[in-house]
Every structure is written in structure tokens, then in C-alpha cells.
Structure 1
Amino acid sequence: METDTSRYPDSIGVFLAPAEYVDSDNTDIQAHAGRLATGRTPRHALIEIFRFVRDIPYGAPDFDRLASFRASDLISRGRGYCVPKACALAALARAAGMPARLGFADVSNHLASPRTVELMGSRTFAWHGYTEVLLDGRWIKLSPTFDAELCTRMGVPVLEFDGVADAHLPAFDPSGRTFMQYERLHGEFHDVPARFLANEMPRLYPRMCAAIRAGVVH
């Protein structure tokens, strides 16, 4: 799909440009964006893009392989964690002509399993990735992290996006228990800081990363 940057100032138009990891110029990304967006208004196209990325199954990160952060790699593999999923949403939105950028935050998962807490050494997940898309003059925050099947197993609501309100990870589960809490925002990025994350995550969570490398966590 052709992306027209001329109607945006340079400070916004940059978020329509392809990047190393938000590779919106990739042929597979372009094909998926065309299928999801053609014939739809930007709002309805974004709803379709969000649902498509959301329901790519959640999987353990692969910090030893920088390509795993790339949007097209996630689409090809059909599995990934929050950062490449946010990257894929941004790439598809850019390919569909909507400015998009990445946001990062530290979040606390109050419903994380005891095993996960043990491996992480904390309930706080550093550098959780989400997406911001410019629609009707407003940056909308979207978190396509957990697929519908995983949410059902976790007993939490499937996150929906109505095309208007932010779709962040839910603060509470259906029983009113605290679920996800945003602790610290790290700002917005044009592309994934992949090399930083590949070094920072093993430093912060050595046991979890060792378990992933050993194939104990998938």
C-alpha cells in the first residue's frame, strides 16, 4: 500500500516511515495491511489490525535473536511476546497509512503465576511494549499482548478496541482483582530499541532468560 506522508508535518510523518524492526515496507506486512484495511475507514481498519495482532498467540521472547523483534518475523513465526506484537501493530498501521509509534512501560502483573514470579524475581515486567496510533488527531494507546485463547485460560477479559478509547491491558479481572498496573512510562519510540532490550532483559531477569534458553519456558 502507498503511504502519503505529505499531509503530516515532519514530526508526525516520521511515524509513517518504515524502520529496521517496524518494517512496514515488508511485502508480507503490506499484503496483510491491504487485506485488513482496504475498503474500510481508518477507524475500522485499525480495529481489524488490532484484533489480528492481538490474536497472534503469545509466546516467550527470544532475546538472543534480534530478528525476533521485527514485525515481519512475528507475522512469519505466528507467535511472540508484547514487544514484537506491538511492533507488528505499528508496522501494519503505518502500511495502512496511519502514523504509529511504540511505547514502553514497566507493568505489574498481579495475577502472574507463582512460577512466573519465581523465575522473574518480581511481579514487575520491565519494558512492556504497546503501540500508539494517531487517529482523528489523537494518539490512541493499544496493547495487543494477550490473545483471546490465553485470556480465556487466564480467566481475564479479552481486550477489545472500539475504535475510540485506549485499549490498554485491563486493570482488573472479572472478579475485581487487580490485574495489570502501569508503574513507569519510558516514552515513545520510532523503532524497537532491540539491542538495548536484548541486553537489558537478561540482566534484569537472568533466571527467566536462562529458563527460556533451556526450553523450560515457551
Structure 2
Amino acid sequence: MELIQQNPDISAYLSTSEAVDHDHPTVRAVADRLAADNADAYSYVKAAFEFVRDTIPHSQDSGDLRVTWRASDVLEQGTGICYAKAIAYTALLRARGIPAALCYQRLADEDGSNPAIHGLVAVRLPGEERWARQDPRGNVPPGVDARFSLEEERLAWVARPEFGEVDYPELYAEPHPVVLATLRAAPDRPYLWRTLPTEL
């Protein structure tokens, strides 16, 4: 799938913001800790992916009621849904000068019912022309096996067009406004789960 930059200026995918706050001391501390053992860009982006995927539980899986949307809050509180984990991974990459974008899928239940938007990250290593999508959501439930890969995609789920599922090709420098508004409006995860966006 061809991914489409929303902003032709690559620096947009290195910027900091209220949500992707990679200038925050917490984000910087985690990035520095990961970089200490992973000096080159490839090993760093892989280590950061595995850190977010494996050490920050998806709040639906863990039963955590808190809603996070700033990268620093995700890392400090150790919780978040897919959107929040994608924001945290994006911030960790940008903290080391690696372009990262937010992107999305529309997924549904096995029969195509209950559609919802799912958050991903696209990575572009220095010197590369191609973006590669990653899914740091976490490998729960059983059977989900998202892995870091710059070649063949290893996402948690493959979109099934026959069930109305969609791979949105757009790459965003910031969380999609609908996604961010939904996160910010939710007092807790059960409320968030009832108000998840179903399309972009």
C-alpha cells in the first residue's frame, strides 16, 4: 500500500506538540535509556517498538480505566489504548530525530459489525524513501502477532475490504482531530469504548 504524506515537509514528522510531546523529560528519559543500548537507528526504532508494545499494556486488555493521550502520560502511567500507544511510539522516535507519522485502519468484528478506527505508526529511517507501518498495540488477544518489520508488514490485523475494513493511506504529523477529540473527551475507558470513532 502506498502511504501518502499529509505534509510534504518531512520536518512536520519530527515536530513536537501537546500530544506528541517528545520534548517532555519523561519521554526524553525513556528515549535516552533505550538509545544507550541501541546506538544505531534501526536497533533503536525496533527497541522502542518492543518497549511500547510489550511494557505498556493496552488498557482494554489490562482493565485499566484511565485514558491517556499525551505521550508523556502514556509513558508515566504505563497505559493507553492503541491511539495512545501509537502517540507514545511516535514521540520516542522523534525524540531521536527519526521521522514518524500516525496512521489508521478501520477494523470490525469477524462478521463486519462494530467498526472502529485503529491507530498505527509509520516509520521512516534516515536515508530511506519509504515509510513502514508498525502496530505497537500489544499482542493480546491470543493469536495477535504484531512485530517490528521494515519490509513485510507485520500488523496486528490485516484489513478485509469485503467486511468494510480500510487501510487509510494518509500519514498524519499529529493525531487525527477526530481521534484526539475522542480521547480528550473521555473521562474513563468504558466511556471511550462507547465513543470510539468508526470512520475518518
Distance 1:184 1:170 in 2: 10
TM-score, normalization by structure 2 = 0.73
Q: Is the 8 A contact 1:108 1:123 kept in 2?
A: yes
TM-score, normalization by structure 1 = 0.67
CA gap of 1:161–1:41, structure 2 versus 1, over 3 A, is same
**Comparing 84-93 and 131-140, the one that deviates more:** 131-140
Match of 2:156 among 146, 154, 169: 169
**Cα offset for 1:42?**
0.6
CA gap of 1:138–1:37, structure 2 versus 1, over 3 A, is farther
What is the aligned partner in structure 2 of residue 132 from structure 1? Answer: 122
What is the aligned partner in structure 2 of residue 156 from structure 1? Answer: 143
- Structure having the larger proportion of residues in strand: 1
**Cα offset for 1:54?**
0.6
**Cα offset for 1:199?**
5.4
**Cα offset for 1:157?**
3.9
What is the aligned partner in structure 1 of residue 71 from structure 2? Answer: 71
What is the aligned partner in structure 2 of residue 123 from structure 1? Answer: 114
CA gap of 1:163–1:188, structure 2 versus 1, over 3 A, is closer
Distance 2:132 2:74 in 1: 22
Total equivalences in the alignment:
175
Distance 1:35 1:29 in 2: 10
**Cα offset for 1:104?**
1.9
CA gap of 1:69–1:155, structure 2 versus 1, over 3 A, is same
**Cα offset for 1:193?**
3.5
**Comparing 160-169 and 43-52, the one that deviates more:** 160-169
CA gap of 1:159–1:210, structure 2 versus 1, over 3 A, is closer
Amino acid at match of 2:179: L
Q: Which runs of 5+ in 2 are unaligned?
A: 1-7, 184-189, 196-200
Determine if the alignment matches structure 1 residue 142 to structure 2 residue 125: no
Distance 1:12 1:80 in 2: 27
What is the aligned partner in structure 1 of residue 49 from structure 2? Answer: 50
Determine if the alignment matches structure 1 residue 197 to structure 2 residue 179: yes
CA gap of 1:26–1:45, structure 2 versus 1, over 3 A, is same
Match of 1:183 among 148, 166, 191: 166
Distance 1:109 1:37 in 2: 38
Rg bigger for which structure?
1
Distance 1:211 1:133 in 2: 27
What is the aligned partner in structure 2 of residue 96 from structure 1? Answer: 96
Deviations 1:59-111 (A, max 9, x none): 1499x96xx21111111111110001000010000001100111122112429
Deviations 1:181-212 (A, max 9, x none): 84251722111235x336568xxxxxx63877
Q: Is the 8 A contact 2:102 2:171 kept in 1?
A: yes
Identity of aligned residues (%): 27
